[in-house]
């Protein structure tokens, strides 16, 4: 079990830690190979060499058992011993060596020591085939384990594969190919069709279509317009594009996500930590019990036979090896992290997989979480019979062109030819709107307070409008108004339904937007309770109040910027659209890369599936071992039953953990 010992032992974590930079260099070197040879053959040879010692030992063991069965004349005495010793060494020597290395470091009671004592003891009492078989199955178990870990790392390797190897940068009036790590912020980079975006940036071309599957788990191409963000690792699908870099290579979203996924394996759950501590106490107790089982019966049994009781003690040692627990539990959590990553959900550690299963209350922000955070014109109402809608909008757009407010941007999306309308002498009235002149005509654009302060009569119907409203006055006469609203995300209703179906008892919405809008959105979505007009510190107080309630576990979902304080303090902080938010990556415990609120329920389901499999493995390991331990101590179990109780159970637990990689969680 050497591989997982290196992977999960916290004392050696730094030494064995997956080095993303080195792996990326290896990946880069592989891409640069251009020697005309197919390197898959070399990889096959390496894989075959990995299994060769076990294959050799298996063949030798089968031949030896066959010669024993047919009572071959020459297969006696020292020839038989040498034969089984040769069969034992390829699989036994690495384990004995590892056990010796552990002893030199002061770590005496390891699974390596248990297996070494048990198998060498079997040779000492003449049970040669059983000694070889135990070590052989142990080696096979390690190979299965290695394959399982390799499968669980598939998501991380997929991310490594999308790390770009070169960037075409515009320097000295020409595009030159350079290492992405040498590209500075603000440089112009060209990306051809089928190539990966080398660094985070903004799109300079009119539009682009990108495959972001490796980053978000979504196979649907993402269409980006000029000026919008693009992320390193996305694949350009349509035409040659240009981007302007906004981050260095080491700070790009893909690099930070890789680092986060890597570090997630080091943040263990309470169950995982308990089992490792338990194994360190449990193993020495088992060794001393085995010694007692060998010698204590001498004082109580009339027909005491040393070899018989030693055999029982060796069986006891093999059965009690904690491999199934030490392997399958970390592997279960590792599988859960990998499965979540494939679905566009990043957990910052196994502990948060556990925490997601305990959540009872979901609190969510509105803007950017369940809504798109992009304002759109909802209605245009003209109150002046002498004006058409297009004419009023020309006056309004001429004024709003001078503003950078998000609502102004939404108004400028309106399709109308207004080039002949020019605004001059535009001044901002703090908290109310804009005042200026358009083509010699006085125009006011803003809220009701602006109209009232200029003695302009506003229709009473506007008092009942919930959405943001922009009123227009032309030559001191109320001309009409435009309502602006934020759109719900496509899966917002589905998200609430699925969160309820996952067993969450309370769903709450807290927003900085005005309370009337928040209440309208909350009612439309069917959340239990909502409150608007909140500053970040107000949201924090509300969440802390919820967390103070007995047995209430709170998950907060926000956009990761102004919600950072609440994300940090909640039991589970979930950031939406974390791919583009530095604050989200730093603060949240879980990141929904696809910006889809429906993934929240999927994160809960993945956490529950992981926990269920981990506890299945714990029950399987303890149950089978307890039964066979009793049988072994009573002389009713042989070394073969011991092999099943140890290696067999470990293999079953590994196969159970691997199921996480194949599970489907309906959106």
Catalytic positions: 365
Q: How many Å apart are CA 613 and CA 330, to the nearest integer? A: 11
3-state class (DSSP) for residue 485:
strand
Q: In what order do the strands lie in the sheet with 423-429?
A: 371-382, 477-488, 468-474, 441-446, 433-438, 423-429
What is the number of other CB atoms lying within 10 angstroms of the CB of residue 186?
9
Give the pairing of strands 371-382 and 229-230.
Answer: unpaired
Q: How many Å apart are CA 177 and CA 192, to the nearest integer? A: 12
Closest-CA residue to 95 (of 132, 66, 67, 123): 132
Q: Are 190 and 204 in contact (CB under 8 A)?
A: no
Q: How many Å apart are CA 276 and CA 280, to the nearest integer? A: 6
Q: How many Å apart are CA 339 and CA 156, to the nearest integer? A: 10
- Number of residues that this document lists for the chain: 667
Q: Determine the straight-line distance between the first and last CA of the chain, rounded to whole angstroms.
A: 37
Closest-CA residue to 484 (of 472, 469, 464, 474): 469
Q: How far is CA 166 from CA 39, 88, 178, 182, 229, in A?
A: 22, 49, 6, 10, 20
Q: How far is CA 554 from CA 179, 270, 498, 513, 542, in A?
A: 44, 19, 17, 22, 11
* Axis-axis angle for helices 323-342, 154-161 (nearest 10): 40
Closest-CA residue to 395 (of 457, 455, 458, 470): 470
Q: How many Å apart are CA 493 and CA 637, to the nearest integer? A: 58
Where are any strands of DSSP class E within 300-359? 345-347
Q: How far is CA 412 from CA 60, 388, 421, 423, 498, in A?
A: 80, 18, 13, 14, 37
Q: How many Å apart are CA 91 and CA 56, to the nearest integer? A: 9
Burial status of residue 318 (CB atoms within 10 A of its CB: 0-12, 13-18, 19 or more): buried
């Amino acid at each position: 079990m050497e591989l997982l010992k290196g992977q999960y032992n916290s004392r050696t974590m730094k030494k064995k830690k997956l080095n993303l930079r080195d792996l990326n260099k290896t990946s880069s070197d592989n891409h640069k190979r251009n020697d005309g040879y197919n390197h898959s053959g070399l990889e096959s040879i390496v894989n075959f060499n990995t299994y060769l010692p076990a294959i050799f030992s298996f063949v030798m063991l089968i031949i030896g058992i066959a010669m024993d069965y047919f009572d071959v004349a020459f297969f006696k005495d020292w020839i038989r011993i040498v034969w089984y010793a040769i069969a034992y060494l390829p699989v036994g020597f690495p384990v004995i060596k590892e056990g010796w290395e552990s002893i030199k470091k002061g770590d005496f009671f390891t699974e390596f020591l248990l297996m070494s004592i048990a198998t060498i003891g079997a040779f000492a009492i003449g049970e040669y085939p059983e000694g070889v078989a135990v070590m052989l199955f142990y080696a096979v178990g390690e190979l299965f384990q290695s394959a399982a870990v390799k499968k669980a790392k598939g998501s991380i390797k997929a991310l490594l594969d999308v790390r770009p190897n070169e960037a075409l940068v515009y320097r000295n009036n020409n595009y030159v190919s350079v290492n992405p790590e040498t590209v500075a912020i603000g440089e112009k980079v060209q990306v051809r069709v089928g190539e990966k975006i080398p660094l985070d940036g903004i799109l300079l071309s009119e539009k682009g279509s990108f495959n972001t599957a490796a980053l978000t788990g979504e196979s649907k191409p993402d269409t980006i317009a000029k000026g919008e963000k693009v992320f390193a690792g996305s694949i350009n699908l349509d035409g040659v594009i240009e981007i302007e870099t906004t981050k260095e290579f080491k700070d790009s979203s893909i690099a930070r996500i890789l680092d986060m996924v890597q570090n997630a394996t080091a943040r263990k759950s309470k169950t995982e930590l308990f089992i490792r501590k338990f194994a360190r106490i449990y193993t020495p107790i088992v060794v001393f019990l085995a010694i007692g089982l060998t010698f204590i019966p001498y004082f109580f049994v009339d027909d005491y036979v040393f070899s018989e009781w030693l055999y029982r003690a060796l069986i006891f040692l093999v059965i009690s090896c904690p491999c199934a627990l030490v392997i399958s539990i970390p592997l279960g959590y590792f599988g859960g992290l990998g499965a979540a990553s494939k679905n566009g959900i990043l957990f910052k550690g196994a502990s948060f997989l556990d925490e997601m299963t305990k959540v009872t209350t979901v609190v969510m922000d509105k803007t950017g979480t369940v809504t798109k955070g992009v304002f759109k014109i909802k209605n245009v109402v003209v109150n002046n019979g002498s004006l058409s809608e297009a004419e009023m909008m020309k006056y309004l757009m001429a004024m709003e062109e001078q503003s950078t407010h998000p609502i102004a941007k939404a108004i400028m999306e309106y399709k109308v030819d207004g080039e002949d309308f020019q605004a001059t002498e535009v001044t901002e009235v703090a908290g109310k709107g804009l005042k200026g002149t358009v083509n010699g005509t006085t125009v006011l654009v803003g809220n009701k307070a602006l109209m009232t302060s200029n003695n302009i009569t506003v229709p009473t119907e506007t008092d009942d409008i919930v959405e943001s409203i922009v009123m227009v006055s032309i030559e001191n006469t109320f001309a009409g108004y435009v309502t602006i609203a934020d759109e719900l995300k496509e899966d917002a209703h589905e998200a609430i339904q699925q969160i309820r179906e996952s067993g969450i008892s309370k769903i709450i919405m807290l927003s900085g937007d005005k309370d009337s809008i928040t209440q309208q959105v909350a009612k439309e979505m069917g959340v239990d309770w909502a409150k608007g007009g909140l500053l970040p510190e107000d949201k924090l107080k509300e969440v802390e109040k919820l967390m103070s309630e007995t047995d209430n576990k709170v998950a907060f979902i926000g956009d990761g910027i102004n919600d950072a304080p609440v994300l940090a303090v909640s039991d589970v902080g979930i950031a939406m659209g974390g791919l583009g938010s530095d604050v989200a990556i730093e603060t949240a415990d879980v990141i929904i890369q696809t910006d889809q609120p429906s993934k929240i329920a999927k994160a809960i389901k993945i956490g529950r599936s992981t926990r269920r499999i981990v506890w299945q493995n714990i029950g399987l390991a303890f149950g089978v071992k307890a039964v066979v331990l009793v049988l072994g101590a009573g002389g009713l179990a042989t070394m073969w039953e011991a092999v099943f109780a140890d290696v067999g159970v470990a293999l079953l637990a590994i196969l159970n953990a691997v199921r996480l990689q194949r599970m489907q969680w309906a959106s």
